[in-house]
Structure 1
Amino acid sequence: MAQNPSAKSVPRPPTLAERHSGIPERLASIAQEAKEKLYSKKTLPESVPRLREVPRLPPDTTRESFDRAIVELRDSLGAENVVLNDKPLEDGWYIEHPNTHDAFHIVDQEELVCSAVVYPESTAEVQSIVKWANKHMIPIYPISMGRNVGYGGSAPRVPGSVVIDLGKRMNKILKIDAENASCVVEPGVSYFALYEEIQRRKLPLWIDTPDLGGGSVLGNATDRGVGYTPYGDHFANHCGMEVVLPNGELLRTGMGAMPGKNGADNPTWQSFQPAYGPYSDGIFSQSNFGIVCQMGFWLMPETGHQSYMITFPHDNDFANIVEIIRPLAQQRILGNIPQLRHVIQELSVTGLPKSHWFPGPGRVPRDVVRKHASSLPCGDCAWVFYGTQYGDPASIKTQLDMIKSAFSKIHGSRFFLPSDLPPDHYIHSRAAVCSGVPVLRELDWLNWVPNAAHLFFSPITPTRGEDAKIVHDINVRLHKKYGFDLFPTLCVAGREMHYIANIIYDRSSQDEKRRATALMRDLITEAAKEGYGEYRTHLLFADQVAGTYNWNNNALMRFNETLKDALDPNGILAPGRNGIWPKNFRGKGWQLMGAEVENAVGGGAITPKL
């Protein structure tokens, strides 16, 4: 097996000035260090010979008809903008990720691959691609930037689909309205790019960013991702969309449906979300009902802020912590969407591998975690709470006094400000993210195992200790059963919590992949039995998760299928995304409801035998 390259041989990551998906110059050295760390633990080769047909054909398509269709598409868009997926597959890493497959592949690397990648430059070109797909009955799979890591990346659910990479050439910040505190962006605008442009213009505005800043602002919102300022619900803070429907028609939602004066955009398009009539924006999130080519967002006026950390000594403090958070969040005393993490993540975010802390096989024992935590700034604790307050110094002090008083009810809790902790401590990264500054620090936990990849298990619970404990106990038991360390992060609001368990596995190990897949499948099943469902999942588990939302004889899925069939009668747009299959795919074995994913690890196929 090929060995990892030396640190000196690792090429530097591209910057924003060189590539739309690059990093700001201010983070160049940090990105280089992160890349070298990841590559130093890599044992997989950059690529291996492909064993299947190249390029992979779409379903029910002959080689001759596919070749003719590609010639036609190249004539329309330019040969350089239609690229066949016939090269070796390289997983890359976060900054230099593939758009041909899932870099964190669970099943065989060649299984979830596209036949070609197309790069439109405009909404009009997206329309022409959609019309081409309908003409040739070839499925298409749009991506914004392809950094949906942990959920499937750039991989199309139907192998052989043509990926529409919207990011490479549609990466313009179309508008920033300082007075309205809003912007309009195309799919290829990353959090890095939007932040840097606002800084360049010296505007007193914040963006809201997830833990990593390289993803698409538009793409994350359409997948209902979250951040950590008061504007942390990204879809709730969008305002207005331009959408290409599956028949190639163009739609603007909200106030954008009313033409502005003399052909200009409606001046209230980024000011008011619903407009008149049914509020349609929601059907274009986590769906395959249209391709969002522009989206407006509200930006947060800059303000004073203070981040902090609170530690709690015992594992069984968990339910009490949640009970204390709920009224603080409901009364808007908590300033942001805080995180509650288990202390094992204080070890992982150092960037040091699991073997540094525990050289033995299997999970890191709890007593070993406690021992190492006692030598870290957090001390010997079980849970770590990261929060941020906003406003003027006097209001922040009042808020913090109330928060300290509430959490002091848990004996042994300790309060820290960033100034109390070393410069390299994780709190400084959280402080940046919680003040709208995109960072790279979250890459460090990928050093936990060699060739690290991950899956997210992401159920929603009410913000109640008893509910949170049920889901947490399921995670504890099943992670132990399948031999994985449990990394829980809870993003807590006043009425609901995102419980996000990060399953980290070595993608060179078929055994770890099978166990991770079985763990994921059992987590979905057992949480659903208790009434808790995921808000987002990996594309290979979409059918299973969608199947858990089956109240009243699957009324929700029947409704989604009715919309799908009306909007996309040819079934060409992202079939199977989030479990929504068009009529020409239904009943033909495409759904993955049982152990099909687990059984496909190591070279098996997930596609039906047609």
Structure 2
Amino acid sequence: MTGLNSANGNAPRAKDEPFVLPPNTDLAKFRRFLARATSIVEEVNVKVVNSQDDISQEEYMHPSKAHDMYHILEKTHFISSAVVAPRNVPDVQEVMKLANEFEIPVWPFSMGRNVGYGGAAPRVPGSVGIDMGKNMNKVLEVNAESCYALVEPGVCFFDLHEYLEKNNLRDKVWADVPDLGGGSVIGNTLERGVGYTPYGDHWMMHCGMEVVMPDGSLLRTGMGALPNPKADKSKPPHEQEPNESWQLFNYGFGPHNDGIFSQSSFGIVVKMGIWLMPNPGGYQAYMITFPRDEDLEQIVEIIRPLRIAMVLQNVPKLDNVLVSAALEGHRDSYSNSDKPLTEPELDKIAKDLGIGRWNLYGAMYGPEVVRDALWSVIKASFSKVPGAKFYFTQDRPDDVALKTRSNTFQGVPSITELQWVDWLPNGGHLFFAPIAKVTGDDAKAQYELTRRLSEEYGFDFIGAFLVGVREMHHIVCILFDRKDPDSRRRAHALIKVLIAEAANRGWGEYRAHLALMDQIAETYNFNDNAQMKMNETLKNALDPKGILCPGKNGVWPATYKKEDWTLHKP
């Protein structure tokens, strides 16, 4: 395995000598690669990662392009040797051909804001980062009649929303947004992130991709594989007008290929269609508070039939008390102890903030008569929980959480949700996110397990249940002090135990931090790891030199000896 390219990270080095070289690459070979890469993308778009400034960025809106800002291992463990920013699709193709020629691994990223999962950092130290968002950042098309957009990797949710606003399209269409609006639309979708309108399942709402393959070739998926008879064939393929149904019908003909590019190392998505939500003609966010911790089972049992029947139209968010508390203040605002908060302390926080031990946020869409009918069912259903209280946004004008969710649920992006990271000094976070069926028993079991283990490792439990149509994401936020080695160590140890304990109960994570990919991949092991064997077969066929994102989500190419690289030692 590659280590630091000097005796220590602070040793003097030449301006083109990185902290970490790519595997099986000496400095002379690396310099030749850089020279060739510079000839492709121009010097301004090539940066060697070799100074403390390159690994000092710790702001979400100005993220590091080279390492994990919320690192749990050493800062220089997951780190790029250099970052190359293609200007266009041909640049991406040429960079991939160059990487194959030199047999240097590359790690593409869109914006570097995949916080909680590794940011822009590569799984294999020394890989060359490919910054897809710096230059390739255009909204290529918005069709308000058919309700879709076509975007490049550098388009974040703020950008798409601002495009709709600037072009007076918000009265026709909304773009669904996740909690944090700075992430790439393509990046979030490929990682199967979620938002909160009825269009909140971003992967479900994508339609048609243009992909650069590991060998540098180019394809369009779905209906994009059918040429447009009106296209100018004298233009290069990436500039040719696509088939008019590309963003309208996802499947095309034959095997549906899109799935192999989601959370994978099989290609680089350079364009993607995303369906937009028609303006519903009316909207109302709401909040329902529940006074007791033990109300959780009943709440979830009420949610399930309402969600399946689409009475709950959007992804409802059920927060525990500390999610709201962390948006309103730092931990030292509530306690002077460094021990996990106690039941009396949690009850006092809920009382002081005028919220519940559990708080449900949702929204209703459509004309007033529709919203009134929905609300009558929702209110009657949750009134079965003793002490439940019901609020609209205007009832709590100073409530940060409700105001933020009210915007998010109607496609208005923000970064306010990130304030809970400041719960601790130098806040960093990991997400533990198991999937389970929507039952009170599962919710109770997950909550009891994750809270007990969080507190055993010295952390407050901060978490939420996000209910899809037939499943729930349980998002457990492990907050740690990233400048405290012991805090990082405990957070890492905690999440490894949580992964193992969850797998023993049939719960699997849907997304993983770089340091945890191998462990989580090993839990999806039905029939002697049949799925991983298929993934490895695809990897070795499409990327025989193992150039693109080796190790991503536990898929190691044959060119890497997996046991030498895995971070999970059973």
Please tell me the TM-score bracket, short chain as reference.
Answer: over 0.9
Correspondence for 1:32: none
Matched to 1:458, the amino acid is A
Correspondence for 1:158: 124
Correspondence for 1:542: 517
Correspondence for 1:355: 332
- Write the mapping of 1:121-132 to structure 2, written as runs, cut at 5 A: 121-132=87-98
Instruction: Report if aligned partners of 1:50, 1:110 keep a CA contact under 8 Å in 2.
Output: no
Matched to 1:230, the amino acid is P
- Pairwise CA RMSD: 1.3
**Distance in 2 of aligned mates of 1:76 and 1:188:** 19
**Distance in 2 of aligned mates of 1:222 and 1:493:** 18
**Distance in 2 of aligned mates of 1:218 and 1:205:** 18
Q: C-alpha offsets along residues 57-88 of structure 1, whole Å, 9 cap, x if unaligned?
A: 00111111111111111122212211111121
Correspondence for 2:227: 259
- In structure 1, which of residues 55, 77, 88 is the aligned counterpart of residue 41 of structure 2? 77
Matched to 2:449, the amino acid is I
Matched to 1:363, the amino acid is P
Counterpart secondary structure, 2:62: coil
Correspondence for 1:582: 557
Q: Across the two proteins, how many residue pairs are aligned to each other?
A: 545
Q: C-alpha offsets along residues 448-484 of structure 1, whole Å, 9 cap, x if unaligned?
A: 1111100000110001111222222210111111010
Correspondence for 2:193: 225
Counterpart secondary structure, 1:306: strand
Counterpart secondary structure, 2:473: strand
Instruction: Report if aligned partners of 1:476, 1:486 keep a CA contact under 8 Å in 2.
Output: yes
Correspondence for 1:18: none
**Distance in 1 of aligned mates of 2:226 and 2:531:** 30
- Write the mapping of 1:556-595 to structure 2, written as runs, cut at 5 A: 556-594=531-569
Matched to 2:85, the amino acid is Y
**1:54, distance to aligned residue in structure 2 (A):** 3.0
**Distance in 1 of aligned mates of 2:12 and 2:420:** 33
**Distance in 1 of aligned mates of 2:102 and 2:414:** 42
Q: Please list every run of 5 or more consecutive structure 1 residues that lacks an aligned counterpart in the other structure.
A: 1-47, 596-610
Q: C-alpha offsets along residues 67-121 of structure 1, whole Å, 9 cap, x if unaligned?
A: 1111111122212211111121213211111101001111111111101000101
Instruction: Report if aligned partners of 1:463, 1:494 keep a CA contact under 8 Å in 2.
Output: no
**1:493, distance to aligned residue in structure 2 (A):** 2.2
| 1:220/1:436 CA distance change after superposition, 3 Å | same
Correspondence for 1:401: 376
Correspondence for 1:211: 179
Matched to 2:414, the amino acid is V
**1:588, distance to aligned residue in structure 2 (A):** 4.4
**Distance in 2 of aligned mates of 1:587 and 1:485:** 35
- In structure 1, which of residues 42, 53, 56 is the aligned counterpart of residue 20 of structure 2? 56
**Distance in 1 of aligned mates of 2:427 and 2:19:** 27
**1:446, distance to aligned residue in structure 2 (A):** 1.7
Correspondence for 1:43: none
**Distance in 2 of aligned mates of 1:443 and 1:423:** 18
Correspondence for 2:394: 419
| 1:424/1:414 CA distance change after superposition, 3 Å | closer
- In structure 2, which of residues 142, 145, 150 is the aligned counterpart of residue 176 of structure 1? 142
Instruction: Report if aligned partners of 1:91, 1:102 keep a CA contact under 8 Å in 2.
Output: no
Correspondence for 2:353: 376
Instruction: Report if aligned partners of 2:211, 2:268 keep a CA contact under 8 Å in 1.
Output: yes
**Distance in 1 of aligned mates of 2:218 and 2:204:** 23
Counterpart secondary structure, 1:261: coil
Matched to 1:112, the amino acid is F
Q: C-alpha offsets along residues 300-333 of structure 1, whole Å, 9 cap, x if unaligned?
A: 1112111101111111111111110000001110
Matched to 2:518, the amino acid is D
**Distance in 2 of aligned mates of 1:467 and 1:323:** 10
Q: C-alpha offsets along residues 260-304 of structure 1, whole Å, 9 cap, x if unaligned?
A: 023221000000000111111011000000000000011011121
Counterpart secondary structure, 1:236: coil
Counterpart secondary structure, 2:230: helix
**Distance in 1 of aligned mates of 2:143 and 2:11:** 49
- In structure 2, which of residues 145, 154, 162 is the aligned counterpart of residue 188 of structure 1? 154
Instruction: Report if aligned partners of 2:18, 2:82 keep a CA contact under 8 Å in 1.
Output: no
Q: Scaled by the length of structure 1, what TM-score is found?
A: 0.88
Instruction: Report if aligned partners of 2:60, 2:113 keep a CA contact under 8 Å in 1.
Output: yes
- In structure 1, which of residues 431, 449, 459 is the aligned counterpart of residue 406 of structure 2? 431
**1:424, distance to aligned residue in structure 2 (A):** 4.3
**Distance in 1 of aligned mates of 2:77 and 2:334:** 35
Counterpart secondary structure, 1:438: coil
**1:422, distance to aligned residue in structure 2 (A):** 2.9
**Distance in 1 of aligned mates of 2:443 and 2:256:** 32
Counterpart secondary structure, 2:564: coil
Identity %: 46
Instruction: Report if aligned partners of 2:289, 2:389 keep a CA contact under 8 Å in 1.
Output: yes
Correspondence for 1:453: 428
**Distance in 1 of aligned mates of 2:293 and 2:367:** 35
**Distance in 1 of aligned mates of 2:437 and 2:103:** 43
Counterpart secondary structure, 1:262: coil
- Write the mapping of 1:330-341 to structure 2, written as runs, cut at 5 A: 330-341=308-319
Instruction: Report if aligned partners of 2:556, 2:562 keep a CA contact under 8 Å in 1.
Output: no
**1:409, distance to aligned residue in structure 2 (A):** 1.1
Q: Scaled by the length of structure 2, what TM-score is found?
A: 0.94
- In structure 1, which of residues 492, 501, 508 is the aligned counterpart of residue 476 of structure 2? 501
Matched to 1:500, the amino acid is I
Correspondence for 1:515: 490
- In structure 2, which of residues 419, 438, 460 is the aligned counterpart of residue 444 of structure 1? 419
Q: C-alpha offsets along residues 234-259 of structure 1, whole Å, 9 cap, x if unaligned?
A: 01000000000111110100000001
| 1:515/1:64 CA distance change after superposition, 3 Å | same
Q: Please list every run of 5 or more consecutive structure 2 residues that lacks an aligned counterpart in the other structure.
A: 1-8, 232-240
Q: C-alpha offsets along residues 329-379 of structure 1, whole Å, 9 cap, x if unaligned?
A: 0111001001001012221111x210111011121222112112212132x
Between 118-127 and 579-588, report the one with greater CA deviation.
579-588
Correspondence for 1:249: 217
**Distance in 1 of aligned mates of 2:71 and 2:451:** 25
